[in-house]
Amino acid sequence: MPDTSAPTRDVLRIGNASGFYGDRFDALRSMLTGGPLDVITGDYLAELTMLILGRDRLKNPASGYARTFLRQLEEGLGLAQERGVKIVANAGGLNPAGLAAAVRELAERVGVPVRVAHVEGDDLLAARDWGEGVLTANAYLGGAGIAECLRGGADVVVTGRVTDAALVTGPAAAHFGWDADDLDALAGAVVAGHVLECGTQATGGNYSFFGEHDVRRPGFPLAELHADGSAVITKHPGTGGVVDIGTVTAQLLYETGGARYAGPDVTARLDTVRLTQDGPDRVAISGVRGEAPPPAVKVGLNRIGGWRNEVVFVLTGLDIDAKARLVKDQIADALAAPGVKRPPEEVRWELARTDRADADTEETASALLRLVVRDSDPDAVGRAVSGAAVELALSSYPGFHVTAPPGKGAPYGVFEAAYVPAAEVPHTAVLPDGTRVPVPTAAPTRVLEPVPEPPLPDPLPAGPTRRAPLGLVVGARSGDKGGDANVGVWARDPQAWRWLAHELTVEHLRQLLPETAGLTVTRHVLPDLRALNFTVQGLLGEGVAARARFDPQAKALGEWLRSRHADIPEVLL
């Protein structure tokens, strides 16, 4: 057995301590004290986070970064220095230079001398006219700027908007001496970075088969990276959760699309990923092939889309449908009454039948009727809507009440993706001594093309079936990319894969998930992962910040799919 007690040059240990802005606060300390690491990373940014930071910046131009990162460093900075661990985080958000300065001030205050660098150039808001109301316009940078900062002697590197995997590709490139031509190695690091980026989702969090493991407090993941880009995903000894092929597969499918997983460093071929159980809580990733990155870089745009309000009416007991019709008609009349300038541009009702017949508690006897209104004019969703709901209190259906007092409405955001030539993005590494180093764009590049569907395994022989939930034989994980959703589905053994590959077609998915009717659905086949990945265009409207859907990030779309019934071969059950 190899000695894993201390870091070596041959293995780079990169841990994750944050999967989002607001993740477990003590994770940085726990990862630094739980076992050996070379680098610790933190992912603080998401599409919604960038909108939140954009609104912060409107109020205070000196803000725009994740402040919890600074509070974590008050203790973590000294621990990292004692252990020789580099810190790399995208907590800089819209103001990486401001965060770098704040880290230096913190280091001086706590008496920990560290060299701080930052990466900038992603903020393209002033570079062109992006359209009315755009608050943020940030390119997704790769890891080359991070690598330059680490080569320049940085102990702490903070960035703005980079790809989530860049937090791993940058340190790996610096450590192993990779350059832009080491496509397979970079692709392996991208895959490892994608597994790490969401923290405990790789160690049993949000996992379909959670009931088989103790996941009350899963530990954060780490990757043991090798010079060829292969890696082992694991976690510190004694921490909760589990790392197995299922948890790693689930995270690999999260928020991805086809076999080509593109980024500014490299396009990783997800259809080449091989996973092997390498021991308890150890999964080896190997075989990843890389291709040149695309010539254009993705730019995330966030703008204020308008104003939104919501009222949830509680309907209890008998005649639920009739009660819903009554209150809908009353609200419609109120919004069309004299004195109301006009109804809101968008009015949406949704009845969730959470009630049960002959229920033994009032709550389980009740259904929820949700009203959502949106408009470009705040007045159209404010007093007119909340007033109409309140004024029905004594003149509507029996048992009338709402879950919360109606408010005056709030702005909602819209996320859009644009693409610009990589050469137009001023990717810059600002070293600890202030030296500004331009980071060249990757060359050559390769235009993305779909991967033809690979051959499917032989179908299972015909035999008796039983009507049962899909989730008895498959796992799933789902998520969002702007207004699109993805749901990845994987089989746990070869027999189930032979059935799944032929059974779950696009047409069958539409039948199981009627909300996808009328939308473009694309199926991607990943045989080595025994997985299918579906992308559903437009399911989430204008993205999570617009909150156009009950589950605005499609987090539970996969679990809804697993709950649907199909004719499953008895041999699998």
The predicted-structure confidence for 158-195, as pLDDT tens digits, reads as follows 999 999 999 999 999 999 999 999 999 999 999 999 99
Q: Is the peptide bond before 444 cis (omega within 30 degrees of 0)?
A: yes
In a domain, 141, yes or no: yes
- Give me the residues paired with residue 156 across strands: 87, 116
Q: Do residue 335 and residue 396 come from a single domain? A: yes
Q: Do residue 369 and residue 428 come from a single domain? A: no
DSSP E strands, 453-500: 465-469, 474-481, 484-491
Q: Do residue 257 and residue 323 come from a single domain? A: no
In a domain, 130, yes or no: yes
In a domain, 501, yes or no: yes
Is residue 132's pLDDT more than 80?
yes
pLDDT confidence band for 272 (50 / 70 / 90) = very high
- The total domain count for the chain is 3
Torsion of CA 355, 207, 171, 149, to 10 degrees: 10
Question: What H or E segment, with its residue span, contains residue 149?
Answer: helix 144-151
Give the list of residues 6+ apart from residue 318 with CB closer than 8 angstroms, or none.
none
In a domain, 457, yes or no: no
In a domain, 460, yes or no: no
pLDDT digits (tens, 9 = 90+) for 432-444: 999 999 999 988 9
Q: Do residue 430 and residue 408 come from a single domain? A: no
Could you tell me the two tokens for 73?
């460093």
Evaluate whether 355 touches 320 at the Cβ level (below 8 Å): yes
CA 31 to chain CA centroid, Å, is: 21
Residue 543: the pLDDT is 75
Task: Give me the domain span that covers residue 530.
Answer: 465-572
Residue 5: the pLDDT is 40
In a domain, 470, yes or no: yes
Torsion of CA 398, 399, 402, 406, to 10 degrees: 50
Length of the chain: 573
Q: Do residue 151 and residue 257 come from a single domain? A: yes
Could you tell me the two tokens for 400?
């009338």
Is residue 262's pLDDT more than 90?
yes
Predicted structure pTM score: 0.93
Closest of 54, 29, 24 to residue 40, by C-alpha:
29
Q: Do residue 398 and residue 529 come from a single domain? A: no
In a domain, 527, yes or no: yes
Q: Do residue 283 and residue 331 come from a single domain? A: no
CA distances from 432 to 113, 157, 385, 437, 528 (A): 12, 9, 54, 11, 43
Residue 180: the pLDDT is 95
Q: Do residue 59 and residue 183 come from a single domain? A: yes
In a domain, 453, yes or no: no
